[in-house]
């Protein structure tokens, strides 16, 4: 399965916890995708009221969904009826700039290794203007699920 649309359709998330708007590129070695922070995101309510800033844990999740899960699904060569369950195993992320509502984020990951079902990547997250907001290493597993 190499179609971007198929990968998006099979992602095991839905709003309000789906943080992938589009896959821009995906190969055996890397993935690039985007997500735009909406004004009505659930995590903005109550997080610095009057001055909403995207929490680092959400930035990490965006990076995982785009940079780790989509790439793992591509590497697994899933069929169109596959169901997957991602398991996030480790993160080492530096946060470098704040992210606000309506910022469009571009996430790029590069595979470090993929073996025994475990994927490790270097991942960067930038605003459309090129400002790096977070970068680091992420690892996880994506396994086929019966549900």
Active site residues: 47
Backbone angles phi, psi at 144, to 5 degrees: -70, 140
Q: Quick check: helix, strand or coil at residue 80? A: coil
Instruction: Evaluate the omega torsion of the peptide bond into residue 63 and state whether it is cis, within 30 degrees of 0.
Output: no
Q: What's the Cα-to-Cα distance from 40 to each of 27, 36, 52, 54, rounded to whole Å?
A: 33, 11, 11, 12
CB 89 within 8 A of CB 77: no
């Amino acid at each position: 399965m190499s179609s971007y649309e198929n990968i998006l359709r099979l992602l095991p998330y839905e709003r309000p916890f789906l943080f992938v708007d589009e896959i821009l590129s995906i190969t055996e070695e890397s993935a690039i995708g985007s997500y735009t922070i909406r004004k009505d995101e659930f995590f903005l309510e109550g997080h610095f009221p009057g001055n909403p800033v995207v929490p680092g844990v959400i930035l990490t999740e965006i990076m995982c969904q785009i940079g780790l899960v989509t790439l793992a699904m591509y590497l697994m060569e899933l069929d169109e009826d596959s169901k997957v369950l991602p398991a996030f195993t480790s993160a080492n992320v530096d946060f470098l700039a704040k992210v606000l509502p309506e910022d469009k984020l571009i996430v790029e990951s590069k595979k470090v290794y993929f073996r025994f079902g475990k994927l490790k990547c270097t991942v960067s997250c930038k605003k459309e203007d090129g400002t790096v907001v977070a970068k680091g290493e992420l690892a996880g597993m994506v396994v086929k699920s019966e549900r």
